[in-house]
């Protein structure tokens, strides 16, 4: 399935390629850092920053953009998307920025054109909440974090 999405290149991202899929079956488009060539961002361990992409999208009604981490950055450097997945709503027309955090032990340099995240466009299902008193019982009930499949595991506090 292919979906038409209008995109606006902002001046600071004008010379960067548009996001693209890295392989024929990839789910996400690679988002690139639109920062000045002569001013890379240094992300110290434990620090976070919003990295501009130089792009604004007009997602169709009924869809969202999910900004997700790149597994290579996470594995090799401990750098990930802090609010993963970040959500780009269909009515948002501002620049998409990626909130990166460095969970690694070394400073991480973000350079112009670096692949920093991926954008997955997905359908949105909206719901209507109906207050209906007590909920129907299930076998799981109110068992929360770690309550399924962990027979005899200690309770988390």
Which pLDDT belongs to residue 149?
67
- Distances 17 to 13, 52, 130 between C-alpha atoms, Å: 8, 14, 46
Which pLDDT belongs to residue 140?
85
Q: Residue 84 is encoded by which pair of tokens?
A: 């993963």
Distance CA 72, CA 117 (A): 10
Spell out, as residue ranges, where the chain has pLDDT lower than 50.
Answer: none
Contact between 45 and 122 under an 8 Å Cβ cutoff? The reply is: no
Which pLDDT belongs to residue 142?
84
Distance CA 46, CA 110 (A): 15
Which pLDDT belongs to residue 154?
58
Q: Residue 113 is encoded by which pair of tokens?
A: 């054109």
Cβ atoms within 10 A of the Cβ of 62, count?
10
Which pLDDT belongs to residue 157?
56
Which pLDDT belongs to residue 131?
93
Which pLDDT belongs to residue 29?
96
Give the list of residues 6+ apart from residue 123 with CB closer than 8 angstroms, or none.
62, 63
């Amino acid at each position: 399935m292919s979906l038409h999405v209008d995109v606006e290149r902002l001046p600071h991202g004008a010379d960067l390629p548009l996001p693209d899929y890295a392989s024929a079956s990839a789910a996400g488009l690679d988002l690139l850092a639109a920062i000045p060539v002569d001013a890379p961002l240094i992300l110290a361990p434990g620090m976070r920053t919003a990295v501009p992409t130089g792009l604004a999208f007009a997602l169709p009604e009924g869809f969202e953009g999910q900004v997700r981490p790149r597994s290579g950055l996470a594995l090799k450097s401990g750098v990930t998307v802090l609010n993963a997945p970040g959500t780009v709503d269909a009515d948002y027309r501002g620049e998409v920025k990626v909130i990166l955090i460095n969970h690694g032990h070394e400073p991480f340099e973000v350079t112009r054109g670096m692949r920093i995240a991926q954008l997955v466009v997905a359908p949105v299902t909206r719901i209507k909440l109906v207050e209906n008193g007590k909920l129907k019982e299930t076998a799981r009930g109110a068992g929360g974090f770690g309550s399924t499949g962990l027979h005899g595991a200690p309770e988390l506090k």
